[in-house]
Structure 1
Amino acid sequence: MQAQNRQITGRVLNAADSSPLPGVTVVVKGTTSGSTTDSEGKFALTSPASDNPTLVLSYIGFETTEAKVGSDGNVTVRLKEQTTALNDVVVVGYGTQRKRDVTGSVASVTAEQVAEVPITRADQILQGRVSGVQVTQTNSEPGGGTSIRIRGTNSINSGNEPLFVVDGFPGAGDLNSINPSDIESIEVLKDASATAIYGSRGANGVVIITTKKGKAGRNAINFEAYTGVSNVRHKYDLMNAPQFANYLNDVQTLNNLENKTNTPLPYTQDQIAALGKGTDWQDAILQQGRQSNYQLGFNGGTEETRYNLSFNYFDQEGIVLNTGFQRGTVRLNLDKKVSNKINVSFSSQLARTFRKLTTVNTNGGSAGGVLLDALRFNPIQPVRDEFGNYTFQNQPLPAVEIAGNPVAYAESAKDTRTILRALVNVAGEYEITKGLKLRISGGADLFGNQRNQFIPSTVYVGQNTNGAATKASNNNYSWLNENTLTYDGKINANNALNVVAGLTFQQFVNENYSAQANNFFTNALGSDNIGIGANVLTPESGKNQNTLASYFGRVNYRLFERYLFTFTMRADGSSRFGPNNKWGYFPSGAFAYRLIDEKFMQSVPTISDLKLRASYGITGNQEIGSYRSLGRYGLNAYTSGATRLVGLTPSNIGNPDLSWESTSSADFGIDLALFKNRISITADYYFKKTKDLLLEVSIPQTSGFSSILQNAGSVQNKGFEFALTTVNFDGGKFSWNTNLNFSLNRNKVLSLNGEYQRFVGLSSTSIFPGATGATSVLRVGEPIGSFYGYQFLGIWQTPEEITASGITNLVRPGDPRYADLNGDKKIDANDRAIIGRAQPKFIYGVTNTFSFGPVGLSIFIQGVQGSDILNLNRYELESGFTTTNKLKTVVDRWTGPGTSNTIPKANSVVRRNTGITSDIVENGSFVRLKTATISYQIPVPKAMTKTVKTASIYVTGQNLITLTKYTGYDPEVNSFGESTAAGAGLSLNTDYNAFPNTRTFIGGVRIGF
């Protein structure tokens, strides 16, 4: 009998990372003979004699796999995690669903995709990887944010950013404090069927971030570290010292001729001849950036208790002097099975972030910053004088515009933001009866932001105040209670229900204060003791809060496993809105038909999966701040003699009817898989209309005010999304997969409360003195983000040309020429037109992943097509109205008839009094090799397998190649994206002193124990 048995040995590994899997059940098919794997994934068992025994391997969270045993009796099996099967679940609002049962438009990004690329913020992984989602790096400064648009721009005055939900906690913003390495998955809910469960906060889409939980049956330690360097991808080509000296002389010569004066020129020809190239102020202010990241994680547990504990430290030094970002996080997630009916979960993160900024420009204004001042500073001036001291200010005056040394400011002034954040959520779940569960959770998001700024008296900006200090604090608290009942079960073999009903309550509190002082007798203490400032300014403080109470329900019904229905309703009551509209109601419905499950489809082997989807629903947007529906009073103070008198005056008219913006959305989609899932396609067409826009509407000034906030106006978005995944080659050792997504959206303003258009957008008042600061127009029938200004036609060449045109404006040869659109022979505001559109025609991304044995390669290409950029940097650097340094193109400026038809003469002031013009609205389309990563799985010696389970190294390049016609630092820009100023959300694709995007190279190592 013993001779008829045979010994079988083997090892079971995780197919994703080759780590051993302990506790895997291994059974000889058709017998009761079996075993389980040890801590190294090894097993041994005795099997009845057979020529071709087959093993069946099963493990929680992995696909059940069969494996043939060879003649040597040894086998190595790699189990795949259940991440792509149709029966896998995706996270949706207040629950999960099988992927096959999803009726709405939901996209997922897995932990593996997050781990492919070293990123600073969680939302960066969505860039170019999810159809229908446009992610723009608003400012590449360390710790800078991003702007996210899901299926277009819905609102004019309210927010357009999606709702972020972190481990079930809605409204958890500031993704800088979330450690990307802790993320298990990111789900993007795009259509109303998926987002209506979030009611008045779902109109802009929802991004659900789920962090890693402990996995039962194994205890693992994972360590990752990487370091890298960054450099500016592209610099402006500026004038050198002799070129700028000649430019200043040219300005003064022309001024003397036009004003009939005899002011000496700033530089003699002998002085110019003695100049070298001068100072490259870009090189002086820029440096090689550095970054490093360290991650240590502990994961494991039993069926009763599971844990995930991680520590992370990230440090980034920016490419501009004295800029940087640091983040330290600790995360603890626990799941405890108290009994067969009770489960408790705990998720938490404590984070500290620290940013160093350079936000004030060196002449004391609020526009620009040290980077822009470095572009404008006189290249003849050295960074330091012959004694080693900083050059104090721009020279020679008055030939140049006054400004301080940007390098001195960057290295001497301090401006920091320190954020402490704790995000905690505790939940208990009780199974009342089979399939029916009660879940009660409570959580808090505590967010403290402190600013410390000190400008010493030793730099130009601080000399007039003899040093200036600011200390400010902004503390946000959010409290959440959620109570849900969930039923999930089958009525019979053909009918199944999943029902969720809930009640939630959330409160938001914001407290802020600021204190300022100047006239310091010493710079040594900075802002640490502002009491020593002789002039202490009036401190300011404030507090506001709002609450949101909600009821919601969702029914998912499956009929014959192929007819899928979803019905959702949420009622939101918000303190933000008027007493006549405290409650809003947000319904949605969806239907999906799994055509693949019809019997007749079995005769079509080419098609592996086919599902048709349709949905319609209504969601809302309540992002207008607190108390806007109420009549409020504002502070009014003045000084009488030595006494400060304080009073209150009305600041607005209340509106008891103020309510949510409402977005109705329809979606039609198809999910298709071909050739045994080697090709997977998802396509959607959607149509959205947002009405009851929150607009400032003009009212008679006899009321004491010029406007009132009302629900008026509407905006439309419609578009198409396409996602393709292909398994191009899967031949064992070598594999090649491709993921492609394509999105186009068409945005249009439908109405503005009877107005045809209104002017919006932000610009620096230092750029447009005497002219409108508006850069864009909201016009019925046109998209949001339409640049509005004058059409540039070239340069006036001769007096005869000006006379022949009949133009009545005061212009001279060498001045810019603009189109007289209304034919009245004068250039004024009536001749402005739409000169560009910020929103792209389409966006796309392509990722190719290759593996050859232990070597892996991932290449990601991102593209944006058909968008325009307002280059306000170029507005200053190429215009003749400022005596700051210029682009080298200005060397070939107009100096006489026929010399140039693009660059005006040196002292032309026409553009300064005009506003934005078409020649500074540039093509912002680009194709970018966003990331390329090559990795190598290091074979672990047998002597170390008890300790080291897996090891790998990798090298990543980011922003390696960018193909674009844009002349600025980078085409991925939106300078006002993070600003909270009115109109900032409408200043799309504006480049003014934006931190340049960088080319980065990173090397890292991952080790699993």
Structure 2
Amino acid sequence: MRTSTLLLVPLVTLGALTAQAQTQSRQLTGRVVSATDRTGLPGVTVIVKGTTEGASTNSDGTFVVNTTVENPVLVFSYVGFQSQEVPVTGSAPVTVQLAEQTTTLNDVVVVGYGTQRKRDITGSVASISAEQIAETPITRPEQILQGRVSGVQVTQTNAEPGGGVSIRIRGTNSINSGNQPLFVVDGFPGAGDLNSINPSDIESVEVLKDASATAIYGSRGANGVVIITTKKGTAGQNTVNFESYTGISKVRNPYELLNAREFATYLNDVQTLNNQENTAQRALPYTPEQIATLGEGTDWQKEIFRTARVGNYQLGFNGGTTDTRYNLSFNYFDQEGIIINSGFQRGTVRLNLDRKVSNKISVNFTSQLARTQQQRANVNTNGGSQGGTVLDALRFNPAVPVRDANGNYTLDNQPQPYVEIGGNPVAYAEQVTNEQTTLRGLLNVAGIYEIIPGLKLRIAGGTDLYNNQVNQYIPSTVFQGQNTNGFAFKGSANNYSWLNENTLTYDRQFNPNNALNVVGGLTFQKFNNEGFSSAVTNLFTDALGVDDLGIGANLLTPSSNRSANTLTSYFGRLNYRLFEKYLFTFTMRADASSRFGANNKWGYFPSAAVAYRIIDERFMKELPVFSDLKVRASYGVTGNQEIGSYQSLARYGLNAYTAGSTRLVGLAASNLFNPDFSWESTATTNVGLDVAILKNRLALTMDYYYKKTTDLLLQVSVPPTTGFSSILQNAGSVQNKGFELGLNTVNVDAGKFGWNTNLNFSLNRNKILDLAGEYQRFVGESSSSVFPGATGNTGVLRVGEPIGAFYGYQFLGIWQTQQEIDASGITTNVRPGDPRYADLNGDNKIDGNDRQIVGQAQPKFIYGVTNNLSYGPLTLTLFIQGVEGADVLNLNRYELESGFVAPNKVKAVLDRWTGPGTSNTIPKANSVLRRNTGITSDVVEDGSFVRLKTVTLAYTVPVPVRFQNSVKGASVYVTAQNLVTITKYSGFDPEVNSFGASNLSLNTDYNSFPTSRMFIAGVRIGF
């Protein structure tokens, strides 16, 4: 027994030592990546729970930890990300995805001429991060804001690739001046058109909404400010990122039109009624035998629409050291339009460099070179109702083939004179050139010198170079070019601006209770614009297009122009923080603009704001439910100097006439000068509340604002003895008041499954207060320019009403019988089957005095909801956008429901009035009353909609261990855009304005490019 015991002791000791050695030698490996883009995170702290054993991740996110713990739990922590605990049960490498912190109070937000912690903001500022931008593939930067920021209405006014976007921040301030916000790209204000900016290069977008935030931009801040910051290099890592997506798009909601047999029958009905009601008799356009041979005929919408392709390719290089950081990117974007022979291409190169020259000196450099090309499809070169691919496709006779028996395009609409005259829309789309090419360079460089700790001098210089070329060619082989035997046009615009900014910033925290940030500066900016155009007709060949205008026998009068304006500014801002809870901001800017009159060269724009962080009060510590609680209030005055150049000066216009064979040219005064001419001023009061509860699981921001814009630019009548009828003066006022709400919630955060929601809601009430002493003015598109015979304008400006009021006749139904007409006492020439309109003044006739406001273009409220769901490597993003209470003037319905010289019709006319009691909505076939009357209430439709704007499903591809040193992350995704739209609107889409960003012709649908439904698939990979 004793011998056995002595032998057992060394064996047990040896076993224990062996087990201890095995425990001490255990090695844990793995990689930490961002849950957003799956790129490696350097510098993450990895600790074995309950011990001091640990390590940090290297530049690509990998780590190695040695531990003696038998069943270890690793704790991962990283600034700006949620900590995570991961049990390790085997020896295989682990991959950990860290999610960003839901709290953003210490995040840095870009504001005018500087940055601030979000917790210190006193004004109304919204921010969109690169992660949010990446959720939805977009074609131009303005679309980032659509449905994602409260108080911001973004409207795709033209849905063709590269088409225009209208942005209104807190309503419409101006009647005759600009309403678009000021765009600032990497510190360069007045960047203008953003179509050449690559959205994939954007790091963040900030929207400055109230005067406290925008007053630093003075005479350019009244419409809000959008600050775009592009991506910079990251120290400590060198990465290569590639992204590509491809997809298709299709027309979303085409009109249901009559087929060939139905339309031929309709034309016969029109002529039959005309023969019954007129002494002049005409044969029917189609015999019964011809109608019997007709079937569906040509679907002209199907002929011009196509399944269009879209592709995007992005290659980026990012990295650097603590002294030098770089970001270099290349992008090519190519989108076909859903109308044949339309499309948009953009190629960009961006280089951003940051260099720390010494402990006191650093240099920042941002640059982009871009080339864009757009081929437009639905240009209306001849004006009026002639030309336009979409419009002609809607009204063309479906009994007419695209090509004749010889294979040539049919020239025009037939049979004449029974149908609307017009050209073959397929020939127009394929043979007409309307091309716009833009070359743009945006460059900004800044040097920063730290004079003493906390005091920095920044000197910056930048330029924006913009060249635009327009080529238009209408060959003699299409209907629109037949009368002129071809039309060729070339135009060019060369615009550039340069900027110099000199700022001093002092930022110091004196003690835990007092902190001060002061910025002051002097800036100079100059804008230069020049253009030239020339056109010819009667070309002896179509082979050269616009390449040689010399072959045109008839040279039209060429034109050229040149203009410039300058802006000199002083500005200052003081931010003071007391006890970390009392926040004060004071701002002042003085602008001198060459656009202002001689007596008003300088404008002064002050603002003040205060905020109280209640959350930092001692008593709030006893209420742990709150994570943040802050109230804000601000007041300030900003300006709008988008009033055009030389408006205050006496200008002369060209007058030319021909005497015999000699062209004589002279000049004549074209306006009265006004030395008191100045900017439009907007005074804004804003009250806001920021609340977060339950450890930031629910964060709420609310704002109420009141804006009053005075000194509106209006034409004011003057005595005829002046030689003019009016002068442009600062007169009139408009108000906007509204409420905004933003809500972020973390609904589920349990293990692999996560769900958060972002919601924003905005309502704005616009009202005209003064029109230079007048009660109303008729504005908008003249209906007579759209439809011959109609009278009046489409809109009205009226004191007490919002901008964008539609003005016309109230539709009451259809006259059913002659007895009904006789009993009404109406003396206007109407017949049974004609539309019936309200006789407002009771004079028994329908004329211009019976018009009234029949709709409002401005919405009652707008909203957006984004839901982000994740389960392991899968993420699903659902984005819903909505507009409520906005009316749309559907001018297409004038063409498609009635008219004497008949275009094709919508299917609804099959249920038209054919006798008493048959219809009270669609007039009889030959009724021309609505078409010759003007705007009527029945074509002003409810444009409210709810749209499932974007659905994106993404999957993070697991990277095999052997590739983790080289591949930092990979993901694939599929996206559907404009998937479902719920609306009562009968046209292509309720989000439309055929007159672009016009202030006075809003929400009008006529010959518009339809929206499309898009499906794409993409891949992202990082090395």
**TM category, shorter:** over 0.9
The whole-number CA distance in structure 1 between the counterparts of 2:583 and 2:55 is 41
Opposite residue 506 of structure 1, the aligned amino acid is: Q
Q: Deviations over 1:119-154 (max 9, x none)?
A: 001111211111111111101011101111111111
The corresponding residue for 1:949 is: 968
Q: Is the 8 A contact 1:861 1:930 kept in 2?
A: yes
Q: Deviations over 1:772-801 (max 9, x none)?
A: 341111111111111110001112222222
Change (3 A) 1:84 1:223: farther
- The answer as to 2:100 corresponding to 1:86 is no
The corresponding residue for 2:430 is: 411
- The answer as to 2:668 corresponding to 1:649 is yes
Change (3 A) 1:364 1:100: closer
- The answer as to 2:1015 corresponding to 1:1001 is yes
Opposite residue 992 of structure 1, the aligned amino acid is: Y
Question: SS of the residue aligned with 2:684?
Answer: strand
The whole-number CA distance in structure 2 between the counterparts of 1:361 and 1:891 is 30
In the TM superposition, what is the alpha-carbon distance from 1:85 to its structure 2 partner? 2.9
In the TM superposition, what is the alpha-carbon distance from 1:402 to its structure 2 partner? 1.7
The corresponding residue for 2:1002 is: 988
- The answer as to 2:275 corresponding to 1:256 is yes
The corresponding residue for 1:288 is: 307
| Larger of the two Rg values belongs to structure | 2
- The answer as to 2:476 corresponding to 1:457 is yes
In the TM superposition, what is the alpha-carbon distance from 1:642 to its structure 2 partner? 1.6
The corresponding residue for 1:981 is: none
Q: Is the 8 A contact 2:102 2:696 kept in 1?
A: no
- The answer as to 2:743 corresponding to 1:724 is yes
Q: Is the 8 A contact 2:48 2:72 kept in 1?
A: no
Q: Deviations over 1:970-1001 (max 9, x none)?
A: 011111124xxxxx321111111111111111
Q: Deviations over 1:416-453 (max 9, x none)?
A: 00010100000000000000000010000111111001
Change (3 A) 1:128 1:57: closer
The corresponding residue for 1:102 is: 121
Change (3 A) 1:757 1:364: closer
The whole-number CA distance in structure 1 between the counterparts of 2:378 and 2:301 is 17
Equivalent residue for 1:695, pick from 714, 725, 732: 714
Answer with 105-114 or 363-372: which moved more: 363-372
The corresponding residue for 1:18 is: 38
Question: SS of the residue aligned with 1:761?
Answer: strand
The corresponding residue for 1:758 is: 777
- The answer as to 2:641 corresponding to 1:622 is yes
Change (3 A) 1:366 1:625: farther
Opposite residue 1002 of structure 1, the aligned amino acid is: I
The whole-number CA distance in structure 2 between the counterparts of 1:825 and 1:406 is 43
Number of aligned positions between the proteins: 1002
Equivalent residue for 2:167, pick from 126, 148, 156: 148
Q: Is the 8 A contact 2:364 2:446 kept in 1?
A: yes
Equivalent residue for 2:795, pick from 769, 773, 776: 776
Change (3 A) 1:276 1:75: closer
Gaps of at least 5 residues in structure 1 are 979-983
Q: Is the 8 A contact 1:153 1:160 kept in 2?
A: yes
The whole-number CA distance in structure 2 between the counterparts of 1:739 and 1:64 is 19
Change (3 A) 1:887 1:770: same
- The answer as to 2:58 corresponding to 1:44 is no
In the TM superposition, what is the alpha-carbon distance from 1:536 to its structure 2 partner? 1.6
Q: Deviations over 1:463-519 (max 9, x none)?
A: 111111000011211111111100111122211000000111111111111010111
Answer with 686-695 or 910-919: which moved more: 910-919
The corresponding residue for 1:163 is: 182
- The answer as to 2:561 corresponding to 1:542 is yes
Identity of aligned residues (%): 72
- The answer as to 2:230 corresponding to 1:230 is no
In the TM superposition, what is the alpha-carbon distance from 1:44 to its structure 2 partner? 3.1
In the TM superposition, what is the alpha-carbon distance from 1:946 to its structure 2 partner? 2.2
Opposite residue 206 of structure 1, the aligned amino acid is: V
Q: Deviations over 1:173-230 (max 9, x none)?
A: 2111111100100111111111111111111111111000000010111101101111
- The answer as to 2:211 corresponding to 1:197 is no
Opposite residue 21 of structure 1, the aligned amino acid is: L
Q: Is the 8 A contact 1:362 1:404 kept in 2?
A: no
- The answer as to 2:333 corresponding to 1:319 is no
Question: SS of the residue aligned with 1:278?
Answer: coil
- The answer as to 2:439 corresponding to 1:420 is yes
Opposite residue 985 of structure 1, the aligned amino acid is: N
Pairing 1:380-779 to 2, within 5 Å after superposition: 380-763=399-782, 765-779=784-798
Opposite residue 41 of structure 1, the aligned amino acid is: G
Change (3 A) 1:69 1:800: closer
Q: Deviations over 1:581-604 (max 9, x none)?
A: 111111111111000000000000
Opposite residue 651 of structure 1, the aligned amino acid is: S
Q: Deviations over 1:590-624 (max 9, x none)?
A: 11100000000000011111011111111111111
Pairing 1:173-192 to 2, within 5 Å after superposition: 173-192=192-211
The whole-number CA distance in structure 1 between the counterparts of 2:312 and 2:1001 is 34
The corresponding residue for 1:339 is: 358
- The answer as to 2:191 corresponding to 1:172 is yes
Change (3 A) 1:54 1:770: closer
The corresponding residue for 2:996 is: 977
Pairing 1:348-387 to 2, within 5 Å after superposition: 348-361=367-380, 365=384, 369-387=388-406
The whole-number CA distance in structure 2 between the counterparts of 1:749 and 1:194 is 25
The whole-number CA distance in structure 2 between the counterparts of 1:57 and 1:912 is 70
Change (3 A) 1:381 1:56: closer
Q: Is the 8 A contact 1:367 1:766 kept in 2?
A: no
Taking only aligned residues, the RMSD between alpha carbons, in angstroms, comes to 2.1
Q: Is the 8 A contact 1:363 1:404 kept in 2?
A: no
- The answer as to 2:846 corresponding to 1:827 is yes
TM-score by length of 2: 0.95
Change (3 A) 1:258 1:435: same
Change (3 A) 1:364 1:635: closer
Equivalent residue for 1:935, pick from 954, 957, 981: 954
The corresponding residue for 2:11 is: none
Q: Is the 8 A contact 1:881 1:911 kept in 2?
A: no
Change (3 A) 1:572 1:31: farther
Answer with 81-90 or 407-416: which moved more: 81-90
The whole-number CA distance in structure 2 between the counterparts of 1:482 and 1:764 is 48
Question: SS of the residue aligned with 2:599?
Answer: helix
Answer with 765-774 or 491-500: which moved more: 765-774
TM-score by length of 1: 0.96
Change (3 A) 1:302 1:662: same
Opposite residue 683 of structure 1, the aligned amino acid is: M
Change (3 A) 1:725 1:364: closer
Question: SS of the residue aligned with 1:279?
Answer: coil
Change (3 A) 1:710 1:116: same
Answer with 139-148 or 42-51: which moved more: 42-51
Q: Is the 8 A contact 2:46 2:74 kept in 1?
A: no
The whole-number CA distance in structure 2 between the counterparts of 1:357 and 1:22 is 47
The whole-number CA distance in structure 1 between the counterparts of 2:84 and 2:913 is 78
In the TM superposition, what is the alpha-carbon distance from 1:17 to its structure 2 partner? 2.6
Change (3 A) 1:847 1:833: same
Question: SS of the residue aligned with 1:108?
Answer: strand
Q: Is the 8 A contact 1:69 1:75 kept in 2?
A: no
The whole-number CA distance in structure 2 between the counterparts of 1:114 and 1:21 is 20
Question: SS of the residue aligned with 1:544?
Answer: strand
- The answer as to 2:225 corresponding to 1:211 is no
Opposite residue 1015 of structure 2, the aligned amino acid is: F
Opposite residue 932 of structure 1, the aligned amino acid is: V
The whole-number CA distance in structure 1 between the counterparts of 2:42 and 2:689 is 40
Q: Is the 8 A contact 2:776 2:799 kept in 1?
A: yes
Q: Is the 8 A contact 1:876 1:882 kept in 2?
A: no
